């Protein structure tokens, strides 16, 4: 199981699972084909008690409920299963069309099939690895079985570039007894991860920094003078109100302390949904000259926010990341234990240092938890997209103890008033006003010479 596959199954769940008609019943049956728990399970997504979740596989394993005698025979009555799901399995099935025909047999007429398969990636035999799939394959499966292809999308995150298909015999937008998607272990874990604790240990609440981060952000706005500003994670709106240009803020649950200024637009969405729906440009701003990422304090979320911003940016864009410096190990926990909480956003700094040497990375010693300036963006770069799943897996194994001086010691951090900071901001502004683009690595090289 890889990170993007879980994301895509959650997307299927949120978009479609609630539209399966209960038809007066209290429970729904979900069958996962190839459902052995290997680095994760879809059971966390279908965790609500309304679902009877059954994992079937060819061999016994963690989480497997039924071991198949024949890979092309599912031990269920025709039209008896409400939702059939499968991920990372069909590429290992020699005659996958025969298995899908069996899937079409067991699913109810108004039921759903969620299928996730790779469209790219290296050979990984289990025990065989036969296929990679393209969108036309989903349409072909629908025609072969007489099913309807309700939706299909291809994920850009490598190396697998998941292809997702949603199928049904008789899909209706809303059933007579349909329901909204119920919270599951995936969404509940995210909520609990960011919830502030009622009581904390004062020793874990230490903070430090030369100046408050909002003061540093104010200076950045003044010197850079952006023509367009994007903010991920608005909260009370304190940083958003610093912008004196057209601005867009994205936050699924903002808590503004006062109204935003004219020309500032608030989008109440999760950033992943916002970027998926916004296309190549952000409505409301001509160019993203400055972006501030202060959203979900988990590495993979901050990484995706940066990836999505970079592809919509220019080489003159400055991205600022908040919360790269936890002051204590407790502040860096992925499940929040402190009021001053950074989560593992610090891993983004480590990740970019190791994987994107073309970028200019300038960490600032701000209160309470540091800022990271990122310049020299390359909108054409595909490296982070192609390596996404391996990066997420490897960085989750990266411990804070591996980088005590870099992160807890802030060994690379500079004072926000350092001339190199002003020099970087002035360089970006001048090049933008001149209409001159940077070559890859040029901003980094110029900063080093300073």
Tabulate helix, strand, coil % of the chain (nearest 5). 35, 20, 45
Measured distance CA(246)–CA(267) in Å, rounded: 14
**Extents of the domains making up the chain:** 3-188, 209-449
CATH 3.40.50.150 correct for 3-188: yes
As beta bridge partners, residue 229 has 247, 290
Predicted pLDDT at 206: 97
379-437: per-residue pLDDT in tens?
A: 999 999 999 999 999 999 999 999 999 999 999 999 999 999 999 999 999 999 999 99
Report residue 247: phi and psi, to 5°. -140, 150
Res. 175: pLDDT tops 70: no
- Within 10 Å of residue 85's Cβ, how many Cβ atoms? 26
User: pLDDT tens digits for 5-38?
Assistant: 999 999 999 999 988 877 778 899 999 999 999 8
Q: Whole-number mean pLDDT of the chain?
A: 95
**pLDDT score of 446 more than 50:** yes
pLDDT at 138: 99
pLDDT of residue 264: 97
The string of pLDDT tens digits covering residues 188-220 is 888 878 888 989 999 999 999 999 999 999 999
Average pLDDT for 47-72? 96
Q: Do 274 and 342 meet the contact criterion of CB atoms below 8 Å apart?
A: no
Report the alpha-carbon distance of residue 47 to residue 400 in Å, rounded: 31
pLDDT at 173: 66
* Strand 107-117 relative to strand 163-168, pairing: antiparallel
Full DSSP string of 140-205: HHHHHHT-EEEEEEE---TTTT-EEEEEESS--SS-TT--PPPP-HHHHHHHHHHPPPSS--GGGG
Whether residue 174 is predicted with pLDDT greater than 60 in this model: the reply is: no
Q: CB–CB of 276/307 below 8 Å? A: no
11 to 99, 127, 187, 393: CA distances (angstroms)? 24, 29, 11, 20
At residue 121, the pLDDT reads: 98
28: nearest Cα among 112, 137, 101: 112
Q: What are phi and psi of 114, to 5 degrees?
A: -110, 115
Q: How far apart are CA 28 and CA 50, in angstroms?
A: 6
DSSP per-residue string spanning 14-28: HHHGGGS--TT-S-E
* CB distance 115 to 164 below 8 Å: yes
d(CA 281, CA 314): 11
- How far is 24 from 22, CA to CA, in rounded Å? 5
Q: Say if residue 176's pLDDT is above 50.
A: no
Structurally, at CATH architecture level, domain 209-449 sits in: 3-Layer(aba) Sandwich (3.40)
> What does the pLDDT look like over 97-118, one tens digit per residue?
999 999 999 999 999 999 999 9
pLDDT tens track for 272-310: 999 999 989 999 999 999 999 999 999 999 999 999 999
Alpha-carbon distance 438 to 314, whole Å? Answer: 9
**Res 183: pLDDT:** 85
Of the candidates 110, 114, 85, the one whose C-alpha atom is nearest the C-alpha of residue 24 is: 110
Nearest-angstrom CA–CA distance, 450 and 448: 5
- Bridge partners (DSSP) of residue 54 are 31
In angstroms, rounded to a whole number, what is the distance separating the alpha carbons of residues 326 and 319?
A: 20
**Helix runs in 316-381, H state only:** 346-355
3-188 shares its CATH topology with 209-449: yes
Q: Contact, 313 vs 292, CB < 8 A?
A: no
Candidates 326, 406, 429; CA nearest to 370 is 326
């Amino acid at each position: 199981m890889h990170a993007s596959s879980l994301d895509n199954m959650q997307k299927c769940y949120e978009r479609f699972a609630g539209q399966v008609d209960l038809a007066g019943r209290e429970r729904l049956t979900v069958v996962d084909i190839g459902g052995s728990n290997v680095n994760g399970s879809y059971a966390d997504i279908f965790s609500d008690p309304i679902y009877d979740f059954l994992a079937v596989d060819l061999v016994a394993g963690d989480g497997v409920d039924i071991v198949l005698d024949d890979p092309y025979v599912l031990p269920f009555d025709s039209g008896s299963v409400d939702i059939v799901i499968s991920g990372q399995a069909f590429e290992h099935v020699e005659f996958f069309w025969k298995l899908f025909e069996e899937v079409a047999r067991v699913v109810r007429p108004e039921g759903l099939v969620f299928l996730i398969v790779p469209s790219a990636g290296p050979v990984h035999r289990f025990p065989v690895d036969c296929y990679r799939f393209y969108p036309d394959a989903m349409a072909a499966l629908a025609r072969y079985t007489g099913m309807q292809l309700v939706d299909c999308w291809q994920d850009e995150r490598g190396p697998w570039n998941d292809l997702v298909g949603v199928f049904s015999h008789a899909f209706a937008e809303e059933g007579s007894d349909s329901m909204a998607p119920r919270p599951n272990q995936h969404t509940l874990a995210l909520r609990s991860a960011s919830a502030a604790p009622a009581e904390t240990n004062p020793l874990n609440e230490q903070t430090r920094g030369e100046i408050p981060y909002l003061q540093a952000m104010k200076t950045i706005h003044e010197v850079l003078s952006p023509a367009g500003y994007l903010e991920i994670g608005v909260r009370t709106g304190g940083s958003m109100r610093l912008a004196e240009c057209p601005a867009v803020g994205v936050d699924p649950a903002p808590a503004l302390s006062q109204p935003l200024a004219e020309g500032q637009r608030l989008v109440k969405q999760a950033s992943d949904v916002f970027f998926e729906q916004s296309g190549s440009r952000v409505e409301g701003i001509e160019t993203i000259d400055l972006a501030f990422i202060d959203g979900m304090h988990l590495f993979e979320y901050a990484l995706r926010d940066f990836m999505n911003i970079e592809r919509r940016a220019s080489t003159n864009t400055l991205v600022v990341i908040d919360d790269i410096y936890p002051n204590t190990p407790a502040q860096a926990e992925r499940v929040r234990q402190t009021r001053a909480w950074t989560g593992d956003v610090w891993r983004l700094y480590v990740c970019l240092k190791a994987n994107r040497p073309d970028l200019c990375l300038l960490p600032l010693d701000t209160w309470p938890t540091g800022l990271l300036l990122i310049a020299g963006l390359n909108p054409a770069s595909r490296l982070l997209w192609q390596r996404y799943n391996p990066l997420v897996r490897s960085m989750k194994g990266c411990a804070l103890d591996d980088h005590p001086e870099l992160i807890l010691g802030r060994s690379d951090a500079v004072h926000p008033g350092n001339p190199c900071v002003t020099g970087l901001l002035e360089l970006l502004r001048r090049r933008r006003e001149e209409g001159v683009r940077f070559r890859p690595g040029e901003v980094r090289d110029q900063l080093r010479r300073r």
